[in-house]
Amino acid sequence: MEKKFFDKFDITLFIAVIGLIVIGIFAIYSATQSSANNADFYLKQMTFAIAGLVMVIVVSYLPPRYISSLSYYAYGVSIVLLILVLLFGRTINGNKCWFYIAGFGIQPSEFAKVATVMAVSNFFYKGDEENPKIKPMQIMIATLMVAVPAVLIKLEHDTGTTLVMLSFLIPMFFFAGVSPFLLVAIITPIIAAILAFINIYYFYSFLALLLIALFYFKRHYIITGGVMVMNVLAGYSVKFMYSKLQPYQQNRIMAVFDPTSDPLGSGYNVIQSKVAIGSGGLFGKGFLQGSQTQLRFIPEQWTDFIYCMIGEEFGLIGAGVVILLFAIIIFRLLNNAYLSRNRYLMLACVGFASLFFFHMFINVGMTIGITPVIGIPLPLVSNGVSSLLSFLLMVGIGMNTYRHKDIFLS
Amino acid sequence: MKREVKIYVSLGIVVLSVLALISRLVQLQVVQQQEFGKESDKNSIKKIIETPARGLIIDRNGSIIVDNRPSYTLTITPFQFDKNLIDEVANLANLDPEDIRDDLSNAKGTNRFNPIKVKRDIDFKTISYIEENRDRLRGVSYQVESMRFYPNKFRASHILGYNAEVSEKSLLESTENYYRQGDLVGTIGLEKYYEKYLRGEKGSRLISVDVNGREVGPYNDGKNDVKPTNGADLYTSIDANLQEYAEKLMGGRRGAVIAIDPRTGEVLCLVSKPDYDLNAFVGTPDAKEINRLFNHPDKPLFNRATQTKYPPGSTWKMMMALAGMASGKITPTTTISCPGSLTYGNRTFEDHGAYGSITAVRALEVSSNVFFYKMGLMLGIKDYHDYSAMLGFGSRTGIDLPNETKGLLPSQEYFDKVYGVNKWSQGLMVSLGIGQGELGVSPVQMVAYTAAICMDGLYIQPHIVRKVYNSSTGQEYPLEVKKTQIEWSQKYFDAVKKGMYLVVNGTGTAKNIKNSDYILAGKTGTAQNPNGNNHSWFVGYAPYGDPKIAVCVLGENAGWGNQFAAPIAAAIMVRFLSGNSVDVFNENAKVEVHD
């Protein structure tokens, strides 16, 4: 009986999720403790976490067919909400992405992430064959499905979430069966662009490596040449595109390479958060004892910069545990994708794993100064109802995948 | 490709990334721990926003009419503040504890790290109390801020306007990210219209703070500080002496005065009465006094010079004479029979007297009604609308004050909308011909029109500010003044000007204001008011041959135009032309003729 229950219930994933939420609530409590209304922060997070975990259980029991048939509706609703928020939403910190309903701020863009992954999974689900033939047209349509919400979110000036929307497309293509060569053709120009921005010699070395790699694919020389040309163009156009960015975005990117260049603006956050985390040491300064985060002026330390709090008060041990818990969640989602005989759920799990990964990597990366300062939350940990519930919805579908791993959808 | 392979590739990427993050953490928290630990003890940074001083406002002779003085503002940083201290702070600053609670709960997100301004203009005793109790009153502080100061013998409330704390609504809607809770923003008058120039650019200071939250000095020797840039100054065309004089003449009455230089469109004085004391809005305003101003039945905050729309009465007759000639309905020598009344349909419209067959010049002099009843009928609604629109009626003059009215200039479409197509008669044109009925003009429209007449058709946008110049950066901001030359025959303007000359210097309705030193010209008007006593109008300019000032006076419920408005207008013109030395105002001058 016992064994049979855990055969269907992904206990590892569930515990890792609870672990992160608990750490998050402690961190939110600490980050806001000297605030006049700190109960508003951690109690609200706690209440919605409990409600969200109940939702996880409920979702994990739903018939997969039911979930997949809801995909397009969820997608449609979230597009409508994104348009409505653009027309009627409230502007906070320059991002117009909030609805206020009965005192709660709701961000449709958070839910749009889940809905878009579901819709793309449903689009690629054509029977349960592992590597079906993918037509270029399908790739275009899937890209468009992601581009529509991404553009709407960009119009709300929420650049962070826009980048997130683009993060899961390549992994989902990969698992849907798009040919590796095509993926190389899509990804390498992006890498080339980033490297060209950092250092022109990295860019040249990368081109050399790429040439060798392309040789092994043994494609027609015109196609191989085309991919090379695209990489070269991407590298050279990056400086041009950089000049087109808004000044605050340029500053944010520059501040990653040299935080001291702008200690007043974007660099300020990076300097402060590095000092906070660095001073935490191996064991941290102790709960509620972080002098940087308690007294000082790290902005958004209960939302986007909450990792500072953990790094300073719980040290390398706490900060490392958080990363490991994320690794466990991502591993479990990939594991469930691997086990699933249902290609819809398999693709959804891959999309969700990508979302968890991208959020965690960028968010943690920015607080320790290795990625740009992009305003996205740390999943399950940052204070914020919309983000918490949408990530728990992903967990619910991930658990559902584990429960129904032996069942074909068709 | 097999699914296993895909999974291994993905896991590989995840493992590598996690290793990268962990090794960076080890670098920061183990290898560099000592360094960051020290940094953390001595060198955490607090950012203080410095508000620049607002630009000054200066009159045409270089005297400052809106100045700044330093003052201290009490601030609370919500994140550090202990709520139990609310009562103590409220008591200290003489505030309602509820107001402080509201301020605190309005500060959301990162605003909670920034000091919010709870009370302006606190005294030195309060400051010393804060200093003495610094350790206990965590989060309570003060900062120097510049406060408006009016060194004038006049009010000019409707020109200058005031600043008020930025509203929560506009903070939420603003995308420009300039204002913070508690900041002052120009809310009315020039302060609002030129807000972007006046406010300047904020600066910031970085301060190192020790583990106990004490400020230990500037961060990085202040090398990263940004000095605030003071706002640009407004150089206005207002004549402070004339403004003071005009306000005195209007006294406790209700109405408006606006005088401009017809050659440039520059406003010399602008009065709207009742007015209010701008000092009521300086510092932390007294809510009772503000409520009283907002709810007063006489509406002291309302700018009667730019926002009222009343029928112009007989001051409209120049418009009709010009429209009649320009449209070819009459010439300057055409005579029209004015027998003392006009019957249209079954209604009889009265005049002050029977004048026989007269020209437009004579009709203006004696302010004949019948002449202009007929003019209205001859023009018809289309010409009536189109020619009046050319002299600025029915649209904003573009004066540099907020909320100017367009007035009301009726058209075919307007009457069709109000009464229904074919449901109104030409009879409406009779009253409209003498500036009564559904016609609304503002004093600023009337003065611009008068100026255009005396300048032979050169219509210039009235404006108060001549120059916007930032003395700290040396930058001057260009301003644009719209000028339009109306191409009508010089003969038409000459005829109308002659009529206005005779109104004062002939046998006309304003001969009571005839002046021996300066030749004044003008026109009286009395707007019928169904709700009370008539409104008194006068428009005029001087000197007749070489105009240097055009003026419009409106007296609400003040009776005949020559009783109230004309003497004030005359006194203002003479005062200005005499270099602010002569006072010819005589309130009790006898009035013999009605218009």
ipTM associated with this complex:
0.89
Determine the residue of chain B that is closest to A295 in CA distance.
B213
Q: Is there a contact between B28 and A277 if contact means CB atoms under 8 Å apart?
A: yes
- For residue A189, being part of any structural domain is answered with no
User: Which helix (H) or strand (E) segment is B524 a member of?
Assistant: strand B521-527
Across the interface, whether the CB atoms of B14 and A370 are under 8 A apart is answered no
Q: How confident is the model at residue A37 (pLDDT cuts 50, 70, 90)?
A: low
Q: Do B44 and A291 touch (CB under 8 A)?
A: yes
Is residue A200 domain-resident? no
Flag if B113 and A297 touch (Cβ within 8 Å): yes
Identity of the residue in A295, A323, A353 whose CB atom sits nearest the CB atom of B21 = A323
For residue A144, the enclosing domain spans 2-178+245-403
pLDDT at residue B42, as a whole number: 57
Does residue A141 belong to any structural domain of this protein?
A: yes
Q: B28 and chain A: CB distance < 8 Å anywhere?
A: yes
Output the pLDDT for position A409. 56
* Chain A residues close to B81, C-beta within 8 Å: 36
Query: How far apart are the CA of B377 and the nearest CA of chain A, in angstroms?
Result: 50
Q: Where are the domains of chain B?
A: 47-236, 240-283+303-577
- Whether B512 contacts B303, CB under 8 Å: no
Q: Which of A217, A256, A279 to mutate to test the interface with B (most CBs of B within 10 A)?
A: A279
Gap between the Cα atoms of A409 and A232, Å rounded: 43
Query: With an 8 Å Cβ cutoff, are B47 and A370 in contact?
Result: no
Chain-chain contact of B18 with A365 (C-beta, under 8 angstroms): no
Superfamily of domain covering B240-283+303-577: DD-peptidase/beta-lactamase superfamily (3.40.710.10)
Q: Best mutation site among B5, B14, B176, B207 for testing chain A: the one with the most A CBs within 10 Å?
A: B14
Chain B residue at shortest CA distance from A320? B22
Which chain B residues contact residue A293 at CB under 8 A? none
How many angstroms away from the CA of A36 is the closest CA of chain B?
A: 6
CA A319/CA A283 separation, integer angstroms = 10
Share of chain A above pLDDT 90, in %: 39
Question: Nearest Cβ partner of A180 from B1, B17, B33?
Answer: B1
**Contact of A78 with A145, CB cutoff 8 Å:** no
Name chain B contacts of A187, Cβ cutoff 8 Å: none
Q: Are A266 and A251 in contact (CB under 8 A)?
A: yes
* Beta strands at B266-273 and B336-338: parallel, antiparallel or unpaired: unpaired
Tell me which chain B residues have a C-beta less than 8 angstroms from the C-beta of A263.
45, 206, 219-220, 224
List, for residues A133-163, the tens digit of each pLDDT value.
788 888 899 999 999 999 998 888 777 888 8
B127 within 8 A of B75, measured Cβ to Cβ:
no
**B115 at A interface, C-beta within 8 A:** no
Tell me the pLDDT of chain B (595 aa) as tens digits. Answer: 788 888 999 999 999 999 999 999 999 888 888 877 776 665 566 777 888 999 999 999 999 999 999 889 999 887 778 888 888 888 888 888 888 888 887 776 556 667 888 888 888 889 999 888 888 888 888 888 889 999 999 999 999 999 998 887 887 777 777 888 788 999 999 999 999 999 999 988 877 766 555 677 787 777 778 889 999 999 999 999 999 999 999 988 899 999 999 999 999 999 999 999 999 999 888 888 999 999 999 999 999 999 999 999 999 999 999 999 999 999 999 999 999 899 998 889 989 889 999 999 999 999 999 999 999 999 999 999 999 999 999 999 999 999 999 999 999 999 999 998 888 888 899 999 999 999 999 999 999 999 999 999 999 999 999 999 999 899 999 899 999 999 999 999 999 999 999 999 999 888 889 999 999 999 999 988 888 888 999 999 999 999 999 999 999 987 777 788 999 999 999 999 999 888 888 765 555 545 5
A211-263 pLDDT, tens per residue? 888 888 878 888 888 888 988 888 888 877 777 777 767 766 666 566 556 55
Write out residues 170-199 of B within 8 Å (CB-CB) of A: 172-175, 177
Across the interface, whether the CB atoms of B2 and A282 are under 8 A apart is answered: no
CATH superfamily for domain B47-236: Penicillin-binding protein 2a (Domain 2) (3.90.1310.10)
Question: What's the gap in Å between the CA of A1 and the closest CA on chain B?
Answer: 31
Touching A: B residues 197-226, CB under 8 Å: 204, 206, 209, 211-213, 219-220, 224, 226
Bridge-based pairing state of the strands B57-58 and B116-119? unpaired
Instruction: Find, in chain A, the residue whose alpha carbon is nearest to that of B112.
Output: A35
This prediction's pTM: 0.64
Tell me which amino acid residue B320 is: M
